[in-house]
Amino acid sequence: MSIPKVHYSRLIGLLEALEDFGGKVDIAKIADDLNLELDDLLPVIEAAELLGFLRTESGDISLTNEGLEFLSNGTRGRKKHLGKKLLTLDHFKKLIEFINQKEDKSITKEELSNFLAEELHEIDSKAVSEWTIEWGRHGLLLRYNSKEDKIKLL
């Protein structure tokens, strides 16, 4: 997985619920508590693992120190923390470099989709473009203006 392909709010919900369980719980129990099917919960768990916020072991999930630190921040602090984590992913490293190479330091959604397909070999580059913009905005890395169709760095 190059970037999380779940909504940020689901990640926050999982991490906060996990914190309510004392930082460790059986996956089936938290799925039941959140009223989610396991198939819906597993991508959220994968995203949280990718970002280093939790780990999975023997059917249990537990918060990492990184996850606890993330949760201890306010909304803006969480977003800054998330941005730092996203910058550790090749997906965002390469994208930031690509945007910085542009004269006006911006790209269109179509340019993003083409970049994802050609440079990062994403099969469904249009969908991944949407996830990239969402996570980039939540991580305070990207700004998207739909009227101008411009993606810029913050």
Report the top-level CATH class of 8-72. mainly alpha
Which of the pair, 41 or 3, is modelled with greater confidence? 41
Instruction: Say if residue 8's pLDDT is above 90.
Output: yes
> What does the CA dihedral 147, 154, 78, 2 come to, rounded to 10 degrees?
80
pLDDT-based confidence at 2, cuts 50/70/90? confident
Whole-number percent of the chain with pLDDT over 90: 95
> What does the CA dihedral 114, 118, 124, 130 come to, rounded to 10 degrees?
-40
Question: How do the domains of the chain map onto residue ranges?
Answer: 8-72, 75-153
Mean pLDDT in residue range 63-86: 97
28-68 residue pLDDT tens: 999 999 999 999 999 999 999 999 999 999 999 999 999 99
What are all long-range contacts of 116-120, with beta carbons under 8 Å and residues at least 24 apart?
119/94, 120/2, 120/90, 120/91, 120/94
DSSP 149: T
pLDDT-based confidence at 3, cuts 50/70/90? confident
Mean pLDDT in residue range 104-120: 95
Please give the angle made by the CA atoms of 106, 109 and 114, to the nearest 5 degrees: 100
The model's pTM = 0.91
Mean pLDDT in residue range 2-14: 92
DSSP 146: T
Instruction: Say if residue 1's pLDDT is above 70.
Output: no
DSSP 76: H
